[in-house]
Amino acid sequence: MALISACASWSPSYEKPQVNITSFSLAPESNGLAPRFIIGLQIINPNRNALPLKGMSYSIAVENNNVLSGATSDLPRIPGYGMADFTIEASPDLLGSARLINRLLAGQNKSLEYSFKAKLDMGRLVPFVNIEENGLFNLSNTAAN
């Protein structure tokens, strides 16, 4: 009976949560060789039921080159029709970053495409929710010389 009621609560009108990047900074010094980044996130739940997040894996790509990735199980419960702000840590992909730098040095890009991908785990009864946010970083100088 609990399984039926749980499945009924995730109806076809279920909307994917929205993930916004709210901040991005270099983490304080760590003992590792590679720097770590702290990314502020906001998850908005447009549904009536709370999101009991169990974990999340994520990556950031620029110009189809993976530059940062990470995973966490330290996530808040997002209330129905609510939102939560929290931070995650990400590690650089040195090969992906090197490919991106090489590509940037080879040409004159006026903008860079980026993609943030997250896979949210909401437990056993609900499948993973995949979220992808895409956009452009505008690099062109709009001021007249």
Q: Express each pLDDT in 50-61 by its tens digit.
A: 988 899 999 999
Q: Express each pLDDT in 107-125 by its tens digit.
A: 777 888 999 999 999 877 7
What is the overall mean pLDDT for the chain?
83
Question: What CATH superfamily classification does 13-138 receive?
Answer: Immunoglobulins (2.60.40.10)
Q: Name the residue ranges covered by the structural domains of the chain.
A: 13-138
Rounded mean pLDDT of 54-70?
93
**H or E stretch covering 105:** helix 94-106
Inform me whether the pLDDT recorded for 27 exceeds 60.
yes
**How many other CB atoms are there within 10 angstroms of residue 16's CB atom?**
13
| pLDDT value for 128 | 86
